[in-house]
Amino acid sequence: MNLRKAVITAAGINQRALPLQTFVDRDGYAKTALQILIEEALSAGVEEVCLIIVPGDRDAYRQSAGSHASRLHFVEQLQPRGYGHALSLARHFTGGDAFLHLISDHLYISKKTTRCAQQVVERARAENCAVSAVQATREHMLPFYGTVGGRRVPRKNDLYDVENVIEKPTPSEAEQKLIVPGLRAGYYLCFFGIHVLTPSVMTMLQEALAQAPPSQGVGLTSVLARLSKQERYLALEVQGMRHNLDIKYGLLLAQLALALDGADRENILASLVELLASRARGGI
């Protein structure tokens, strides 16, 4: 499987500014979320990155990419027709190749020496099929994520054959259609925001767009559900954590997670203890 290209979707009207936010990374350097995401992709062997953006955002994104700007290709989503439509706009960039796909409003922290995207790419190459990263997620978080159902691959504790995919299911729907044997009660396998997708996905997206009214949005989840019925499609429980920037305190929590996983961990912990102690004394 040739995996040299990545696609990052960043055309959501409410999320477009998130990749431009500045963080202090694990090594103590100030970087934009976009730089951190591009480095996530590069760690997996990617050489070129296509960004799907809102018209007019090109200069801001190029500047925010820093030294990685030369690797970028830009495609503008002229009509807000949904996530699937945005991804489909990269079809000329990806050509007939499989590709890595990341969303722009998440940051990822690995629990291993290999980064999260690298874990997914390595498994996709080994299994020679599409692979989506997933994370065991509590039931109350289902409204935020696409969720998969399936069965564990024999002798592989972190890998699942995907049999069903539903976008933001209700708890009752998940209990009926997305139970995964062996997963602890009250948890479901929700998307992590990293995928390796085969060329079939682009074909299916084009077909879905051709069938939908021009004013109707097209998602990705229904296409992935269809993919699970037509070819081998796996879910990998990644050794890491996703941090959604687009929730309340998401930017703050992502920065804390980066800091606590990095070189300044002890200083950050000391500062947090001092802050809590000050509040307890009534100092704040």
pLDDT tens digits, one per residue of 97-123: 999 999 999 999 999 999 999 999 999
The pLDDT of residue 70 is 97
Alpha-carbon separation of residue 83 from 102, 103, 221, 277 (angstroms): 12, 10, 9, 45
The pLDDT of residue 2 is 85
The pLDDT of residue 1 is 83
Contact 143, 172 (CB under 8 A): no
Cβ contacts of 177 within 8 Å, gap of 6 or more = 149, 164, 166, 169
Structural domain boundaries in the chain:
5-280
pLDDT under 50: residue ranges of the chain: none
| CB contact burial 163-177 (16+ within 10 A = b; e otherwise) | bbbbeebeeeebeee
The pLDDT of residue 13 is 84
Cβ contacts of 119 within 8 Å, gap of 6 or more = 110, 112, 133, 236, 238, 239, 240
Amino acid at 87: L
pTM (predicted TM-score): 0.94
The fold adopted by the segment(s) 5-280 is Spore Coat Polysaccharide Biosynthesis Protein SpsA; Chain A (3.90.550)
Alpha-carbon separation of residue 180 from 29, 96, 174 (angstroms): 40, 32, 10
Start-to-end Cα distance in the chain: 56
